[in-house]
Amino acid sequence: MTIRSPLAVIGGGRMGEAILSGLLAAGYLAPSEILVAEPDDARRAELESAHGVRCVAGARVAVSGAGTVLVAVKPQVFDEVVTSLADGLEPGALVVSIAAGITTARVESLLPIGSPVVRVMPNAPAMVRRGMSLVSAGAEATCAQVEDVAGMFSALGDAVVIDERYQDAGTAISGCGPAYVAVFVDALARAGVREGLSREVAQRLALQTMRGTVELIESTGQHPAQVVDAVSSPGGSTVAAIAELEATGFSAAVFAAVRAAARRSKELGA
């Protein structure tokens, strides 16, 4: 199953482009099935040249005839943009929002009564089709529509359907998570440089170790703690390193970071 086309993408920024680019690369949609609304002239020309999609300046024009509308604008202008396109929607058109912190109820309040809405939180790796997306249904969205949206975002990596009340917690892990991972990779590489490695070698070691460990856990189904045990010899260097991480509050810092991100997500939605 696929979403109803054509797809109108409202907002041609980085995430809007990442989504349409991934859908095209996966063969999920053809360029002729996507129309982008982007107010900046230069950006419209860039998107048309890079992806072969048609672009228009106004959101209301873009949604005319669209079966699915993906709203990919910043939360600060979300209400204004959605309000401007609301009366141009086709009856029954599915609206997909990727605005952080904005609930489906809030989106529905800006649209004609009965409009189906699905909320999605993708993350930055969607740009390279390795994303993780959280998908939640609004009050009017059917199970089939939710599954279709999950299928669309699976073309950009992976997608999981969750109850909307868990969106803030999920966002704090996968939405913000690429930043946590990047901070850790950078710290690991800089630590290697301090021990005498070149930055190039240290970062290569950090990145491949991160990538390989993730694949190891996924392919074997092991709990992460089992991986720790497997590489920890009694009295060895790994045990010493883990003890230092815990002594300096590594796990507690991660817990606190996720809690802070979830709390801020709720605040943004309010």
Nearest CA-CA partner of 9 in 41, 45, 46, 47: 47
Non-local (6+) Cβ contacts of 108 within 8 A are 115, 117, 138, 139, 140
DSSP 165: G
Distance, in Å, from the CA atom of 108 to the CA atom of 97, rounded to the nearest integer, reads 11
Look at residue 125 in the predicted model and tell me its pLDDT.
Answer: 92
Non-local (6+) Cβ contacts of 132 within 8 A are 122, 123, 125, 157, 158, 159, 160, 174, 177
The pTM for the full model equals 0.89
Look at residue 267 in the predicted model and tell me its pLDDT.
Answer: 84
Q: Name residues of the chain where pLDDT drops below 70.
A: 1
One fold for 7-166 and 177-269: no
Look at residue 1 in the predicted model and tell me its pLDDT.
Answer: 58
For the chain, the structural domain boundaries read 7-166, 177-269
- 249-259 confidence digits (pLDDT tens): 999 999 999 99
Look at residue 249 in the predicted model and tell me its pLDDT.
Answer: 95
Q: Does domain 177-269 have CATH number 1.10.3730.10?
A: yes
Domain 7-166: CATH class, spelled out: alpha beta
Helix (H) or strand (E) holding 190, with range, is: helix 177-194
